[in-house]
Amino acid sequence: MTDGVRYREGVGRPPIPIEQSLTTKLLPTVLSLIAGSVDVISFVGLGGLFAAHITGNLVILAARIVAGDEAPLALMIAVPVFIIVLAVTRLLAGGLERLRVASLRPLLFLQFLLLAGFLALCIVGGPRLDPNGANATVAGMLGVSAMAVQNALVQISLKGAPSTAVMTTNITRFMMDLGEVLLGRSPNDGAKAGERARRTGLAIAGFVVGCGLGAGCQAVAGLWSLTLPAGLALVALAMAFAVTGEGAQAQPFILRFLAGTNPQRAGSHRASASGTASNVGRPR
């Protein structure tokens, strides 16, 4: 990630601090709900494909090979597709930085489009979608791509946010921070650990609830249940508008929609315009 000096020089836009507002604090929880629900629905509906718990596909693939079962193409290409989309997402975020556009909204919008495509292909495939068919494979890769974008945007666009899809790391971090709080060796360290534990705990809870909701919806509606994570992605995008809209009320609508121009640049532009106006009519 680019350093703070680069942002202070006006190149790009810094990630939004997770402590900025209640909306930023709740956004990782919504993203965790998305990841949990997508993971369960894809696993049940697409023959054991993990869309969020991406390395789990390697375990399933190895188990099938050892058992002599057919190895679906989706399991074989899930990890490479995830890596490629991560790289593309980082390049996209870098391009947005050079344009002085905050990356949160565009990346959330991209995730929503991928999840919407995932839902659409699964619906088109019908209730008896073949997990080994081309339609299911492409649909599954859209789900994997959506989770790759989500994993990237949490690190790129939300400073201090916990992972919203890797719960093993989150549970470990949560327990370590909880231990730090209980040991109480340093009030300052304990306070920081407590705040991290609270954020991580919300992400864990969001993922667990998302798994439960996804499983319930899958049992009732089949792959139509992908409407749940797609709808939550739309909610997350709306939350991003609320986040980046704070303090940007004076900017033109189109700039606010694109996440705004750099505040420093906008301020210098206004100062320049003001200075030009004040110089009108002065003797030279």
Residue type, 187: P
Listing DSSP states for 125-193 in one string gives: T-TT--TTSHHHHHHHHHHHHHHHHHHHHHHHHEETPPPSS-HHHHHHHHHHHHHHHHH-S-HHHHHHH
- What pLDDT does 144 receive? 97
In the numeric block, the tokens 């836009």 are attached to 13
- What pLDDT does 31 receive? 97
User: Cα 159–171–223 angle (5° rounding)?
Assistant: 85
CB 251 within 8 A of CB 260: yes
User: Cα 197–202–206 angle (5° rounding)?
Assistant: 150
| Tens-level pLDDT at each residue, the chain (284 residues) | 344 334 444 445 667 776 667 788 899 999 999 999 999 999 999 989 999 999 999 999 999 889 988 888 999 999 999 999 999 999 999 999 999 999 999 999 999 999 999 999 999 988 778 888 999 999 999 999 999 999 999 999 988 899 999 899 999 999 999 999 988 778 888 888 999 999 999 999 999 999 999 999 999 999 999 999 999 999 999 999 887 554 343 344 444 444 444 444 444 444 444 444 445 444 44
CB 109 within 8 A of CB 259: no
CA distance 163 to 5: 25
- What pLDDT does 13 receive? 63
Listing DSSP states for 50-80 in one string gives: -SSSTTHHHHHHHHHHHHT----HHHHHHHH
CB 196 within 8 A of CB 190: no
- What pLDDT does 15 receive? 75
Tokens of 105: 């909204």
Tokens of 68: 């002599």
CA distance 29 to 35: 10
Q: State which H helix or E strand residue 17 sits in.
A: strand 16-17
CB 223 within 8 A of CB 51: no
Q: Is pTM, for the whole model, over 0.85?
A: no
Q: State which H helix or E strand residue 226 sits in.
A: none
Cβ neighbors of 246 (< 8 A, separation 6 or more) are: 20, 21
